[in-house]
Homo-oligomer: A and B are copies of this chain.
């Protein structure tokens, strides 16, 4: 009962067949006499046989696993909202369904980055999902050039053409701002996200597009997706235009910060100032007042990433980018 892991050979001996036959049964090949098949399965059961993946990988040249790389360390910004875990859950789900394994790598440090490149280009995984926050991350391109199947979460900023899954950021933002316009808001400001991230850029674009179609002028402050930056940006906006009557924040954390500043400045939300966020984090629903926001299907994104990388690894070809729809969730803040 110790660590005497049975091998194919042992099972074959027990079932009175050859290694090859056991292998066929284990790998679900057809063309095996049902009787023999049964006796092999019995032997497998009795011996508690589990294939040695290393040996299998060695000969098949497959790893049956996929790397999920977070290109930046999941700092508070990231871990605070459920992005991190939702993506993981989604990817994980697909891996489980395909009986593949998930190797998680955080490529925060330069050393980590190098490690990721070494590991993934060495074909120890069948594919790589790069969940990069910054659209200009060189990693996806580097891997793709080396022939590693790679999928990005979020449209890469520089080198397009890579398969990726992105949110309808611009569209979602546009819809959010249109909602404010439709509600009769006249002075609609935005707290934009960092302009080196695709989400930041696209959501600002959406804001601008929506404003262009009405006759409002844009009032912009830039944050970095943290709550604190939302606080700072909101204060600045209030200084720039004390009469503003709506704010679209590029994410919920900043919206939450803005909410606090507005409250402390004596303004009522939504009566004096309407606020819309983006992401629909759990905290949005129990803010005071509950935050109107744009929901993005992060879990679904994870699943899509998983599906895509698996398809690619199986030799499939990459279609254009997959864009997941966002949805305006109207609560009380706007």
- When chains A and B are docked, how far (Å) is the Cα of A256 from the Cα of B288? 12
- When chains A and B are docked, how far (Å) is the Cα of A119 from the Cα of B299? 25
- Residues of the B chain whose Cβ atoms lie less than 8 Å from the Cβ of A79: 82, 84-86, 89
Residues 87-121 of chain A, each 1 if its beta carbon lies under 8 Å from chain B, else 0: 01100110010010111111001011001001101
**Is B57 within 8 A of A54, CB to CB?**
yes
Q: How many copies of this chain does the complex contain?
A: 2
Chain A interface size, under 10 / 10 to 19 / 20 to 34 / 35 or more = 35 or more
- When chains A and B are docked, how far (Å) is the Cα of A65 from the Cα of B50? 18
**Is A50 within 8 A of B147, CB to CB?**
no
CB of A63 closer than 8 Å to a CB of B: yes
CB of A74 closer than 8 Å to a CB of B: yes
- Residues of the B chain whose Cβ atoms lie less than 8 Å from the Cβ of A106: 88-89, 92-93, 96
- When chains A and B are docked, how far (Å) is the Cα of A283 from the Cα of B62? 44
Of chain B, the residue at the smallest CB distance from A80 is B282
Closest Cβ–Cβ distance, residue A45 to chain B (whole Å): 13
* A binding-site residues for B, Cβ under 8 Å: 2-3, 5, 50-55, 57-58, 63, 65, 68, 73-74, 76, 78-80, 82, 84-86, 88-89, 92-93, 96, 99, 101-106, 109, 111-112, 115, 118-119, 121-124, 147, 227, 256-257, 260, 282-283, 286, 288
